[in-house]
Structure 1
Amino acid sequence: MRLSPRFALITGGFVALALIGGCAVSTVGEASASAVQVTASSSASPSPTVAPSEPVGPLEGRTIVIDPGHTGAWTAKWGYRKVPDGNGRKKACNSSGTATNRGYSEHAYNLAQAKALAKELRALGATVLLNRTDDKTRSNKLCVNHRADLLNTNSADLLISLHADGNLGKGHRGFHIIVSKAMDGGKTVIAKSKALAKDLRTALEQATSMPRSNYIGKGTAYSFRSDLGTLNFAKHPAVMIELGNMRNATDAKLFTSTEFRTQAAEAITAGVVAYLS
């Protein structure tokens, strides 16, 4: 049996004393036997098994709200009702959204993109809340003055509102990101929203084939507005992403591509991770 270094040192000392001073060797034997018994008893006790810890994702403990813009259940009577816009004016509860020239609706794309994004965020540990999970809901909660409710009531880390533009200008294409100039959260939240927009812009450029808008933001892909209730009522960081122009044929092909939706979801997730790190 292998003895501990400390025990071997003590035993060696006893042997040396026995040789020098004529002490009976049996003393060493008795000490050795006692120590061996203690060692054997100690080694017989099994070590507690420690379960391997689960890896913690970079978004563990974070809460993110996704707002899939518009809804497939839109009607003029419901949508055109006037509601506060969060900046002292009134605005339509919700618009119908746009569509590609071949009829693929923005509300359907927004929902598909939101589900792809939610999957990516949850895979990294985030708690994800969606303003809608189907294309059949028509509720006052989907009016622009309530789109930030989930963000505010849950004190979520941020909100991303997903949209696609419908600009009819020739050759107009590309994504842009909107930040409100009149958020309920004030200057601090506006500044944080700008930082979020920057990280999202970088990620979208690096990971998708959608370029920056060539008609909004003068090449920056940023748009600063004060008329969007979804963002104005936010008390925490929030941005709206127009992921491209549905009326542009090149962008439209991307919107109908599963590959692009995956790219966009991964890119937005990377931007969120960068912002929250």
Structure 2
Amino acid sequence: MSYTGPEFDHPLPRRSRLRRPLAVALAVLVPGALLGWLGYEALGGAGDGEAGRVTGAASGGPGATTADADGDGDGKPAVSGSPSATATPTATAASLAGKVVVIDPGHNPTNFRHPDEINSKVDVGTHRKECDTTGTSTNSGYSEAAFTLDVAHRLTTLLRRQGATVTLTQDADRPYGPCVDERARIGNAAHADAVVSIHADGSGTGNRGYHVILPGEVQAGAADTRGIVGPSRELGKLIATDFGRVTGSAPSNYVGDGSGLVTREDLGGLNLSTVPKVFIECGNMRDSKDAALLTSGAWRQKAAQGISEGIVSFLRG
């Protein structure tokens, strides 16, 4: 609020006898103070003190807690359960340069629209079996295909941050499949250093936990796994160990005798592979306790992290 008019004018103050001496003193002191401040700024200001740390946090530096706090360049803070929330680049970000990883998200979200195609038989060496299936789902309708694709995306982000070249066998970018034999060929053609097929089981209530499926020794028709059994087992053991540690989940209580490892000779994706490959069943979608984990974005991030750490350990030798 402002007031104008003669009734609000203040009387003029009397001239002080000290005015001239004070003006002279200020004329001497002010330039000196200004020169001192400029010298201080030239030498780096606050240096490593509190003011410097506050400035770093406000500008998105090492102390940032707001804008782009997850460092993914989108200008937004990390969201719990997102691929950026728990995955931070490390000093060894280029350690997997030159390594090729193929991620195989089990099933396809639109397989159910193509029953004739996915039920057609393909040769898997030991026998002929269906091209693919629709996969399972939780009792609430969350599909295995949606789960595997979500984990695959998170896993891809983590591995690429380590410098690996990552290919997906499908990204909901085709009407169905690919068939199990083609999934194997994709990894073979990429000369992958490791292939991981992501799944979730559809067993009975009370059956809980994860297990990693390893290729058995098969030599029949187009299948010959003799060269990959050893390295695939090493890959599977590392993934099983790291997956359990990171997610806090226990190995399967219904297959694998508590080891979290199962060997099979009937899966075309393994039989026809010529590069190290394993499947992981991350949990049982039909058990309510496992389903609560599988439907959690934060837990899926842990699942991707566990799988990633196993792959990285394998590739580093």
TM-score range, shorter chain: 0.7 to 0.9
8 Å CA contact retained: 1:152, 1:234: yes
Cα offsets for 1:225-275 (capped at 9, x unmatched): 111111111101000000000001111111111111111111111101111
* Equivalenced residues, count: 220
Give the alignment of 1:68-79 within 5 angstroms: 68-74=105-111, 75-79=114-118
Matching residue of 2:95: 58
Which blocks of at least 5 consecutive residues in structure 1 are unaligned? Answer: 1-53
Contact 1:216 1:223 survives alignment (8 Å) = yes
Q: Which residue of 2 aligns with 1:125?
A: 163
Q: What is the DSSP-based 3-state SS (H/G/I as helix, E as strand, rest coil) of the residue aligned with 1:230?
A: helix
Give unpaired runs (5+ residues) of structure 2: 1-90
Structure 1 consecutive aligned stretches of length 4 or more whose deviation exceeds 6 Å: none
1:1-277 aligned at under 5 Å gives the runs 57-74=94-111, 75-87=114-126, 89-134=127-172, 137-139=174-176, 142-168=178-204, 170-181=205-216, 182=218, 184=223, 186-277=225-316
C-alpha distance in 1 between matches for 2:270 and 2:131: 14
Q: Give me the whole-angstrom Cα distance separating, in 2, the residues matched to 1:237 and 1:185.
A: 12
TM-score by length of 1: 0.76
- The one-letter code sitting in structure 1 at the alignment partner of 2:203 is N
The 1:68–1:192 alpha-carbon spacing in structure 2 relative to 1, beyond 3 Å, is: same
Q: TM-score, normalised by structure 2?
A: 0.67
Identity of aligned residues (%): 39
Q: Give the Å deviation of 1:186.
A: 3.2
Amino acid aligned to 2:174? T
Compute the displacement of 1:209 (Å): 2.6
Q: What secondary structure is seen at the aligned counterpart in 2 of 1:263?
A: helix
Cα deviation digits, residues 40-78 of structure 1 (max 9, x gap): xxxxxxxxxxxxxx9652211100000000011212211
Change (3 A) 1:185 1:132: same
Matched residue type, 1:276: L
Letter in 2 for 1:113: V
Bigger mean CA deviation after superposition, 190-199 or 202-211? 202-211
